A and B are shown apart, each in its own frame.
Chain A
Amino acid sequence: MSDRALAARTAPDPDLADVRAAQADRAAFATLYRRYLDPVYGYCFYLLGDHHDAEDVTERTFLAAMAALDRFRDTGSTFRSWLFRIAHNQLANALRSRSRHRTAPLTAAGDPPSGDDPAGHADRADEARRLRSAISRLPDDRRQVVVLRFVDGLSAREIGVVLDRSPAAVRVLQHRALRDLARLLDEDGGGR
């Protein structure tokens, strides 16, 4: 078991029973799919800035995860961090491909779908736009930490597994990202 995998686990993996069921019968993968579709999609959307590209990478992630499910072992890292690691690799491929073809910054992507409340919360939408604009100006590793931590709620230990960094390195990245964001929002006339 790797040090990072060990460090990623302080509590039992809440998904483990469902993973075992899906390893025995792929039909049970639907439970994990429903649980993680939106978080994985959100991670992809915030890093790609485009709904269609995010759907494409999300699809590749789940297909790869289902194909590799038998290789997941309860040896330290959680299923969630394992799944996001796959998404991270798929995102890296997509971003490499995009750099060869075109770019679509997060700020140009428009707001995420508003669900049941499309018209309301104009202030929150404005705040979200300012934050997305600031996030898009962060270095890639800090942007990844911000999205995984604040959009998907992963712990520093889990993010360490996803990004192949130590938890301490992730905490330092988080500290620097928040400091950068505070400065960028301030320059933007923010801090409102």
Chain B
Amino acid sequence: MTHTLSPAERLDRAVDGLLDGLSPSVASAAAGLDAAMRPLVAVAAGLRSSLVVPPASSRFEARLGTRLASPAERDPIGWALRHPGRLIVTGAVGSAVGVGVTAYAVWRSSRRAGAAHRLLHR
């Protein structure tokens, strides 16, 4: 049983050919494209030759490479377990901030409640 290729499948085959280094005319002929589809292969060839992969900057490459190589990124759980002191400091700072924010909120609400009480009983 033969499977008749759709136009999109034939075009994809021609693009495969282009990406493998064939010229547009050879890729079109190999994929069995009709004349109406050949301008699309020309566009594809333009994309292939013009849209180069822009290289990442060497500074960025080095910075990310260093980060990926750091023990904290490679094995974050193991790293945290090996550095319990940092976990304790982080937890303590987080708790202190939480306590401070809560105390401030309580103080503010009690001030407002006190003012309202004085107004009502004036």
Q: Give A residues with C-beta under 8 Å from B.
A: 26-27, 29-30, 33, 37-39, 41-42, 45-46, 51, 55, 58-59, 62-63, 66-67, 112-113, 115, 124, 127-128, 131-132, 146-147, 149-153, 155-156, 168, 171-172, 174-175, 178-179, 181-182, 185, 191
Known contacts A38-B55, A131-B46, A178-B44; A63 and B68 CB within 8 A of each other:
yes
CB of B12 to closest CB in A, whole Å = 5
Known contacts A156-B12, A179-B40; A150 and B76 CB within 8 A of each other:
no
Is there a chain A Cβ closer than 8 Å to B65's Cβ? yes
Rounded to whole angstroms, the CA-CA distance of A132 and B73 in the bound complex is: 36
Which of B7, B15, B53, B73 is in CB contact (< 8 Å) with A66?
Answer: B73
Rounded to whole angstroms, the CA-CA distance of A155 and B20 in the bound complex is: 12
Q: Give B residues with C-beta under 8 Å from A.
A: 6-9, 11-12, 15-16, 19, 39-40, 42-44, 46-57, 60-61, 64-65, 67-69, 73-76
Which of A38, A39, A131, A149 is in CB contact (< 8 Å) with B15?
Answer: A149
Rounded to whole angstroms, the CA-CA distance of A115 and B49 in the bound complex is: 16
Contact A41 B54 (CB under 8 A): yes
For B54, what are the chain A residues with a Cβ–Cβ distance below 8 Å?
Answer: 38, 41-42, 45, 112-113
Residue of B nearest to A56 (CB): B60
Name the residue in A45, A63, A147, A178 with the highest tally of chain B Cβ atoms < 10 Å from its Cβ. Answer: A178
Contact A182 B11 (CB under 8 A): no
Contact B53 A30 (CB under 8 A): no
25 A-B residue pairings within 8 Å (CB atoms): A29-B74, A30-B69, A33-B64, A37-B64, A38-B56, A41-B54, A41-B55, A42-B53, A58-B64, A62-B64, A67-B73, A113-B57, A124-B49, A124-B50, A127-B49, A128-B50, A131-B46, A131-B50, A131-B51, A150-B44, A150-B51, A151-B53, A153-B19, A174-B12, A182-B39
Which of B8, B50, B55, B68 is in CB contact (< 8 Å) with A62?
Answer: B68
